[in-house]
């Protein structure tokens, strides 16, 4: 339902606020608020995130919702809530949304990873069914949205081909990495140790097992080196830990969830940050590592060369020999390491949340001209 007064109204779906994916929408809201747009901005969020949004965007109106993404409630309950809100444009921060909502909208599509990779922690049949639905939803959403926002040119090209839509309606708005403000907090178990690291989840597309195999090959040459895999110990990490123990691979450390201060310390003291992923929409962790002075060794897959530029060493993520070789190359060449640290800092500061917010506001402006 559209507003009746002269001031245009924009509703931002922030149901993902507070999650890893939701960092995008949180930063958009914070920096969009600083731009003081001429529109009346309303944020749709879960009750637990209301205080956060009030703190970063006090002039934005907040409407609470209890509808979760990917549920029947989203399709049949959220749609009626949306129709009851007077707005000229809805910005869905994720692909999952009510397909029966026919108001003017734009959508951010972060990547197509869910389309191509399964989650072995989920029931196989249930997950395959959800994949079928998700593929269908992506195509419908891409066609119905006035504009689609993606975090990289790689995703723009991928989505245009997958959904068969005009690339001209897809706008790339790059994300950014922030310096962690908390004081660096050492992990006692790693004090004085040399280590390479990864932080994040352990889904199949993250390709961690090949990294582990490459590390095992390196261990004979670098027996004191550790591999730190930081992330909440979910079912996939637990399975990985058991598999490593069974194969008697030494030197792999699972610290579990780490605080912001601990993560900062890990970045600042590692020999290298290694990112073996097969599929990313933007790939924020390598950029975050660069901000904190960690040299980056990265997969050459999907958007990663686009985002990291010449500030990383690249490897074939399907080739454990190549992964091990590139890690060894960095470990044995301090000049190369220092060069990557320097170029990494320059690469990271190219990206700005303020710029991302301004480019998103430009999309609102274009969309609202037709409403």
Q: Which pLDDT does position 280 carry in this prediction?
A: 96
> Please, which pLDDT band fits residue 371 given cuts at 50, 70 and 90?
low
Query: What's the average model confidence in pLDDT over 204-228?
Result: 95
Angle of helix 235-247 relative to helix 208-219, nearest 10 degrees? 30
C-alpha closest to that of 86 among 11, 29, 6: 11
Q: Which pLDDT does position 1 carry in this prediction?
A: 53
Q: Which pLDDT does position 342 carry in this prediction?
A: 97
Residue 279 confidence (pLDDT) above 90: yes
Q: Which pLDDT does position 2 carry in this prediction?
A: 57
CB neighbour list of residue 260: distance below 8 Å, 6 or more residues apart? 180, 181, 182
CATH for 188-348 is 3.40.50.2000
Residue 128 confidence (pLDDT) above 70: yes
Query: What's the average model confidence in pLDDT over 269-283?
Result: 97
Residue 51 confidence (pLDDT) above 60: yes
Token pair 């500030």: residue: 311
CATH for 9-176+352-368 is 3.40.50.2000
**Domain locations along the chain:** 9-176+352-368, 188-348
Query: Would you say the CATH fold of 188-348 matches that of 9-176+352-368?
Result: yes
- Residue 90's φ and ψ, nearest 5 degrees, are -110, 135
C-alpha closest to that of 98 among 130, 137, 47: 137
Q: What is the pLDDT of residues 336-364, one digit of tens each?
A: 999 999 999 999 999 999 999 999 999 99
Instruction: Return d(Cα 345, Cα 365) in angstroms, integer.
Output: 33
What stretches of the chain adopt beta strand conformation (E)? Answer: 9-13, 40-45, 61-64, 89-92, 105-108, 147-150, 170-172, 194-199, 225-230, 252-256, 272-275, 296-299, 312-315
């Amino acid at each position: 339902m559209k507003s009746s007064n002269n001031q245009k109204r924009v509703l931002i779906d922030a149901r993902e606020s507070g999650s890893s994916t939701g960092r995008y929408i949180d930063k958009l809201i914070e920096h969009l608020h600083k731009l003081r747009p001429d529109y009346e901005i309303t944020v749709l969020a879960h009750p637990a995130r209301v205080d956060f949004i009030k703190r970063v965007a006090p002039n934005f109106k907040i409407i609470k919702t209890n509808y979760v993404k990917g549920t029947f409630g989203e399709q049949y309950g959220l749609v009626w809530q949306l129709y009851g809100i007077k707005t000229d444009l809805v910005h869905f921060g994720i692909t999952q949304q009510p397909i029966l909502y026919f108001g003017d909208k734009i959508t951010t599509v972060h990547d197509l990873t869910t389309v191509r990779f399964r989650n072995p922690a989920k029931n196989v049949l249930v997950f395959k069914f959800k994949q079928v639905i998700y593929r269908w939803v992506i195509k419908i959403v891409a066609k119905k949205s006035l504009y689609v926002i993606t975090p990289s040119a790689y995703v723009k090209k991928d989505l245009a081909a997958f959904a068969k839509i005009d690339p001209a309606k897809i706008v790339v708005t790059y994300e950014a990495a922030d310096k962690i403000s908390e004081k660096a907090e050492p992990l006692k178990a790693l004090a004085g140790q040399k280590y390479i690291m990864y932080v994040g989840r352990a889904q199949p597309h993250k390709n961690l097992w090949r990294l582990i195999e490459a590390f095992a090959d390196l261990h004979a040459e670098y027996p004191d080196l550790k591999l730190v895999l930081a992330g909440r110990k979910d079912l996939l990490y637990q399975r990985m830990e058991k598999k490593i123990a069974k194969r008697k691979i030494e030197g792999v450390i699972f610290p579990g969830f780490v605080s912001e201060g601990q993560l900062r310390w890990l970045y600042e003291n590692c020999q290298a940050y290694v990112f073996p992923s097969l599929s990313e929409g933007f790939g924020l962790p390598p950029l975050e590592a660069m901000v904190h002075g960690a040299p980056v060794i990265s997969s050459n897959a999907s958007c990663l060369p686009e985002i990291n530029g010449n500030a990383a060493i690249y490897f074939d993520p399907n080739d454990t020999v190549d992964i091990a070789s590139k890690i060894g190359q960095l470990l044995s060449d301090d000049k190369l390491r220092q060069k990557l640290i320097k170029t990494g800092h320059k690469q990271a500061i190219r990206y700005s949340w303020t710029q991302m917010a301004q480019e998103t506001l430009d999309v609102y402006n274009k969309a609202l001209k037709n409403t």
